[in-house]
Chains A and B, each alone.
Chain A
């Protein structure tokens, strides 16, 4: 089997690649978004703590 035959998927290219493509896209995007959410939370907490310490001084 050569590669052009592989991408052609026996005439089902649109359906097979749309299914696998969107699945891959979302399953890569979700962990990245969750990582960003945690980073934001940590940064916000660190900033709040710094402000509190400055106020207490």
Chain B
């Protein structure tokens, strides 16, 4: 058998993916706990006080990772949705569904921590600024996707309707990302840009990136765990589900 070719469709079957996901969840969970613990230690005890914002700037270490994850998870969901529409694979749609609550959670956290950062620095909890408004629309897209999926009884139709909503909503992601460039906003520009410009001290940057990686591992662990629940719920009548040791016991 050729070892150079990995048959990716092999893992697109829920029966083979379920045990694989089960093995991956604890690995990513441990990575997440370690990275977030190190990140929190650096956030409070190593990163220096900001010369302009004092200790208040430390909110950046949860705000930026949450905001990045909110956009990144959406793109990953759209990718699975596109794959699901093209190849008609059930598992891709389940992956998109499994990521939605985690994406909504990070979008909420980006807005929440943003409000608690905006109040002391700008003097307002909320402003109808382009960055804030487009991020709020992202939150509504997540909620809309979850609601639409939940409202349709036929799973295949629910998946397809949700996938189309996800793909249409992708237009919002570049709007969020470039909003601070395209419009005159109260929100500050990117601290780290795609061109590689960094406008912050090295320790602050390293701390933020460790938190980003920690949130990343957290999202993978939670989404894989949730996709296992979804597989069980959807495949409850399949023969392989009945043969699982955790079901027979």
Contacts and interface: CB of A to CB of B under 8 A. Distances in A.
A10 B54 contact: yes
A44 interface: yes
Interface string A14-57: 11101110110011001100110110011011101100000000
Given A26-B109, A42-B246, A46-B247, A16 B58 contact: yes
Contacts of A44: 236
Interface residues of A, number: 28
Given A10-B55, A38-B229, A15 B116 contact: yes
B241 interface: yes
A30 B55 contact: no
Given A15-B120, A19-B116, A23-B113, A45 B56 contact: no
What does DSSP make chain B's interface, helix, strand, loop or mixed? helix
Contacts of A35: 225
B232 interface: yes
B19 interface: no
B56 A34 contact: no
Interface of B: 29, 44, 49, 54-56, 58-59, 62-63, 66, 101-102, 105, 108-109, 112-113, 116-117, 119-120, 218, 221-222, 225-226, 228-229, 232-233, 236, 241-242, 246-248
